[in-house]
Amino acid sequence: MTIVSQLEEGVLTLTLNRPDALNAITTELLVELSGELEKAQDPAVRVVMLTGTGRAFSVGQDLKEFQGGNVSFQSHLGHYNKVIKQLQHLEKPVLAAINGAAAGAGFSLTLACDLRLIADNAFLTPAFSRIGLVPDSGMSYFLPRIVGWNKAFDLMAFSPRISAEEAFEMGLADRIFPAADFQYDVSLFAVDLAHGPTLALGLTKQLLRRSASASLDDLLDYEAELQEIAGQSEDHAEGLQAFLEKRTPQFRGQ
């Protein structure tokens, strides 16, 4: 089993599980991850959290998988691209809990998530240029949108090790937690998020995705369309009622 899946308190934790290979990504792992993300559409899942077993999050493509073989990158990348689209299109928050090194496509996976939580001893590195490849699995889409065009090129060209603190300063990480309590801290964070209005948060993801390419006029229309849906939700009714009764709302993601 290259992915360990656990659902608890509305949080589906998907753990990349090849610790002996620093969770290097194989075709088998991508197929399993894609299958688990398909199942994550279950309404019982309010938040998805992606993490890794052992000392790494993931060192990217397993460079030993195709040794000596004649592999078509274009066709193999289909497996990666499917997972990146699933992470983005899933209508619920997806967290990357970066417990250790995230390199190459391992880094790309974290970029496709909605929030990145990072252990204080973890690091990110693009890695592609070190082996004469171009960035893939969405890195060329996400990275310049987060850090700007020239900074993205700088990182892609030199592939430095980006510490947790540097990642936070650049907007590549959203929270830093001490390594010693990392699993506990990220679980608390994820459960807290899973108690939120996750239907509205899923719709918010759609708005942000559309905002990457839409005009203001289009986006205003789309906001109104999605607000119509959120406005009919049980969560909105509960939020209003809780406001009037001066209590904490009990959202159910419906």
Q: Do the Cβ atoms of 95 and 50 come closer than 8 Å?
A: yes
Beta bridge partners of 111: none
131 binds ligand T3D (CB under 6 A): yes
- Collapsing DSSP to helix, strand or coil, 43 comes out as coil
Q: Is 125 in the site for ligand T3D (CB under 6 A)?
A: yes
> Minimum CB separation from ligand T3D for residue 162, in Å?
11
Q: Give the whole-angstrom CA distance, residue 220 versus residue 138.
A: 27
With CB under 6 A as the contact rule, the residue among 128, 177, 182, 251 that binds ligand T3D is 128
Name the phi and psi angles at 8, rounded to 5. -145, 130
**Closest to ligand T3D by CB, 131 or 157:** 131
Question: Which amino acid, 217?
Answer: D
Binding positions for ligand T3D, 67-106, rule CB under 6 A: 73, 76-77, 101, 103-105
If the CB atoms of residues 122 and 230 are measured against ligand T3D, the closer one turns out to be 122
Number of residues that bind ligand T3D (CB under 6 A): 23
By the rule CB under 6 A, 133 interacts with ligand T3D: yes
CB 128 within 8 A of CB 157: no
Q: Which residues contact 99 (CB under 8 A, 6 or more apart)?
A: 51, 52, 55, 56, 57, 119, 122, 179, 182, 183
Name the site residues for ligand T3D (rule: CB under 6 A). 21-22, 24, 59-64, 73, 76-77, 101, 103-105, 125, 127-128, 130-131, 133, 136
